[in-house]
Chains A and B, each alone.
Chain A
Amino acid sequence: GQQVMQIPQYQHVQEGEDFTTYCNSSTTLSNIQWYKQRPGGHPVFLIQLVKSGEVKKQKRLTFQFGEAKKNSSLHITATQTTDVGTYFCAVTGGGADGLTFGKGTHLIIQP
């Protein structure tokens, strides 16, 4: 199945600072999804990117899909304590295949 590398593994920020996590693949992706998992919770779908160079925004969250469809990023502007959790990118091999998740970026916010 397809593999994705996600960095950084951990990110400590002060509340109000920005945060970015990156996902990279050695192969071209058909699409990429982003999920958020709160501590003790389950993955919750955030967004799906399909088109080359696509940029989508959800309030303070900005998602980008690279021109070559091999990388993606999630950027949070002015983090809040509610943003705490692990952010995963996920890709599919297609069909009924399950998603392959990246290792996730744990966002820790210091008030």
Chain B
Amino acid sequence: EPEVTQTPSHQVTQMGQEVILRCVPISNHLYFYWYRQILGQKVEFLVSFYNNEISEKSEIFDDQFSVERPDGSNFTLKIRSTKLEDSAMYFCASSERDLRGANVLTFGAGSRLTVL
């Protein structure tokens, strides 16, 4: 079964450092998403991406965050200057159609970010 792959599985970084989390969505999917989950809490939407641009972003997705699709397969999330509160599990997800079309998300296994 096709899957969304994420790297790294775990990243430890110092506060103020930049991190890049990588995702390879399912190949025929067109919509890409980043979510985060602070330990034990709910899954929070960060950003959606379609046709090489951001479609929607949440209040969490401030100027410290950016996304990019540098080539035909990768989808990246960059955090410019990490803060302690950025420590969380970051999930990438993709879908075939937009959610108005009642489609579903396939999530990757996640990248755990620990900011010290």
Contact = CB atoms under 8 A, between A and B. Distances in A.
A101 B35 CA distance: 10
Interface stretch (B13-21, B63-71, B78-86, B105-113): B105-113
B27 to A, nearest CB: 18
Contacts of B108: 42
Q: In terms of DSSP, what is the predominant structure of the interface of chain A? A: loop
Interface string A90-105: 1011111111111110
A92 B100 contact: yes
B12 interface: no
B75 interface: no
Nearest to A46: B104
Interface in B88-116: 91, 98-100, 102, 104-110
A7 to B, nearest CB: 13
Nearest to B47: A98
Which of B33, B35, B45, B110 has most A Cβ within 10 Å?
A: B45
Contact of A101 (B42, B50, B56, B104): B42
B11 interface: no
Q: How large is the interface on A (under 10, 10 to 19, 20 to 34, 35 or more residues)?
A: 20 to 34
Contacts of B43: 37, 43, 88, 90, 101, 104
Contacts of A41: 109
Nearest to B102: A31
A62 interface: no
B104 to A, nearest CB: 5
Given A33-B104, A42-B91, A45-B104, A95 B98 contact: yes
B42 A92 contact: no
Given A88-B43, A100-B45, A95 B99 contact: yes
A44 interface: yes
13 contacts: A30-B102, A42-B108, A45-B106, A48-B102, A48-B104, A92-B100, A93-B56, A96-B48, A96-B98, A98-B58, A101-B45, A102-B42, A103-B41
Interface of A: 1, 30-31, 33, 37, 41-45, 48, 50, 88, 90, 92-104
